[in-house]
Structure 1
Amino acid sequence: MLSRAARPALRAGSAVSSRAAAPSAATFATLREIEGRLKSIRNIEKITKTMKIVASTKLNRATRAMQESRKYGQTSSELYTQAETKPLEGEGKKKLIVVCSSDKGLCGGVHSALARYVRRTTIDSPNFDLVIIGEKAKAQLSRTHAKHIVLNFSGVGKDVPTFTESMSLADQIVMLPTEYSDVEILYNKFINASSYEPTTVEAFSVEALTASPNFSSFEVEDDGLLGNLREYSLANSLFWALCEGHACEISARRNAMDNASKNASEMIGKYQILFNRTRQAVITGELCEIIAGASASDDM
């Protein structure tokens, strides 16, 4: 039997040993980590919300430019439709694919969809060359089709694409030394504010145009005019493709930033609950220690 004076000391010692044997996960260090993570997520949420507002503002301009560019591209496509132009057939004839992307990211799978389309459609027809507009598609296609890339452009379409940029691109493409059976322009077609799909538009060579069944109905006598017509038609199609792709990119960026803001808001809610529970656990643990110490002092 222990004496009455020795019992309080024994109880205090056993309480300290039990706390040391069962370490608590709720510590001030854990609270600081959770608080720091909450702060960083709130900052990310502010950035994504701001980028969503900016993208929503730019989308109106991009949509107007896209609607205006369709008049150019559809008029040029109508020329080949009326002439019933088809790609030239022959040994060694290559197809040129012009991929219209951009240099910017944070817009979902817009650029990845173009790269996947190229990989999927060129499996059975490896005789082709690539002209890539934008660093994003170049970075993806360089890993699998580096030997097919003959020309690439960057810094195009930083804002709304212009016809002047399209003319410069068409001028560089026309000067390529290889004679191609046809030129296929790949871009993202704007369906609505939340969906798009990779689409191609044809831009044929002068030889393909002159070999068209209904070409004689146009009564073109000057051969030099056909070269200018072909370059102008290519510029129209490029302008159309770039504006459509720009509208898809802005729309996809707005949706991506909206989803990112919602995810950040959900994470803030979860971490706030975790922070509150952890803080309550710390406070409860401290109160238990204070009460135990005071009780031990009173008993002694």
Structure 2
Amino acid sequence: MFARAARPALTVARSAPIKQQQAGMATLKEIDQRLKSVRNIEKITKSMKVVASTKLTRAERAMREAKKYGTASNELFNETKAEENVDAKAEKKILYLAMSSDGGLCGGIHSSVTRAVKKQLLEQPGKIAIVGDKPKAQISRIAADSIVVSFSAIGKDVPTFAEASAVADELVKADAEWDEVKIISNHYLSAIAYEARETTVVSAAALSEAAGFQAYEMEEDVSKDLAEFSLANAIYALLVEGHAAEISARRTAMENASNNANDMMASLQLQFNRGRQAVITNELIDIITGASAL
């Protein structure tokens, strides 16, 4: 009678270690699957870092060549800069050109441009033109009504002067009058640093009225052609510099992602080893307990 009464309890006692073992194995299997996923992600981010490092050398070389265009434009606008009072500044029609790209996985490269545009709009409202789908999506949430034109598929590779000229032509043809174009883009500081800056380009009318421009005698009014060409020069130089900043930011982001994946793999491997040791210990306990009972 006693043996029959104790048999259900013995059955439960024997099945408990089996259930614990099955639960432990399931947990180990989940950890192992997660470990494989993180390992695959680390391989991808490491490969993307190598690709970005290779592209960065080319982008830096193109940036150094393109800066010659930007230097020429800056000299022109600095020499023809007119003195203005506060009222004239308030009455100016501003067109903000936010320049970034369509690509992702590059840290806060697009957010820096968006924040700079938002800050400028609070100081002086104006119309907005955008280069890149990423900044367009962000700016549309804060100033969708102010966007007059946008561009995409620019800067997938090193930007060319033809792309910059196309952007400048569309800005001239855009349904928005402007006295100044304030180009907001990322400036390359180093391989690990960048910041959003503003570059001002004046219109043909403002250029022709400048004292530095009127000092020269010209038979024909070339201010319109000169202003458009200088705008294209400035856009080209800033596009190439922004491209270099984006590549460097992507390289840094992929390096950080790889480091985080390595840390996660180390943590998961430690967790997996501890779980496996616990399962082995439970099995040894069961074996020793059964041998002692026999």
TM over 0.5: yes
**2:215 alignment partner, SS class:** helix
Task: Confirm or deny that 1:181 pairs with 2:195.
Answer: no
Number of residues paired by the alignment? 290
**Counterpart-to-counterpart distance in 2, 1:177 and 1:289:** 82
Query: What are the within-5 Å matches in structure 2 for residues 208-287 of structure 1?
Result: 208-223=206-221, 225-287=222-284
**Counterpart-to-counterpart distance in 2, 1:270 and 1:16:** 35
Task: Confirm or deny that 1:95 pairs with 2:91.
Answer: no
Q: Is residue 38–residue 261 contact of structure 2 (8 Å, CA) maintained in 1?
A: yes
Deviation (angstroms), 1:177 = 3.2
Which residue number in structure 2 is paired with residue 132 of structure 1? 130
Which residue number in structure 2 is paired with residue 81 of structure 1? 78
Aligned-pair Cα RMSD in Å: 2.5
Q: One-letter code of the match for 1:103?
A: D
> Kindly, what percent of the aligned residue pairs are identical?
48
Q: Is residue 87–residue 181 contact of structure 1 (8 Å, CA) maintained in 2?
A: no
Q: One-letter code of the match for 1:268?
A: M
**Structure 2 stretches lacking a partner, 5+ long:** none
Deviation (angstroms), 1:64 = 0.8
Which residue number in structure 2 is paired with residue 108 of structure 1? 107
Change (3 A) 1:211 1:253: same
Change (3 A) 1:91 1:199: closer
Which residue number in structure 2 is paired with residue 122 of structure 1? 121
The structure with the largest helix share of the pair is 2
Deviation (angstroms), 1:283 = 1.2
Instruction: Compare CA radii of gyration and give the structure with the larger one.
Output: 1
* Superposed structure 1 runs of 4+ greater than 6 Å apart: 9-12
Which residue number in structure 2 is paired with residue 191 of structure 1? 189
**Counterpart-to-counterpart distance in 1, 2:255 and 2:90:** 51
User: TM-score, with normalisation over the residues of structure 1?
Assistant: 0.89
**Structure 1 stretches lacking a partner, 5+ long:** none
Render the CA deviation track for 1:77-104: whole Å, top value 9, x for unaligned. Answer: 1011112246793886420010110000
Deviation (angstroms), 1:290 = 2.3
**1:202 alignment partner, SS class:** strand
Which residue number in structure 2 is paired with residue 38 of structure 1? 35
Deviates more, 1:19-28 or 1:260-269: 19-28
**Counterpart-to-counterpart distance in 1, 2:90 and 2:75:** 28
Deviation (angstroms), 1:39 = 0.2
Q: One-letter code of the match for 1:265?
A: N
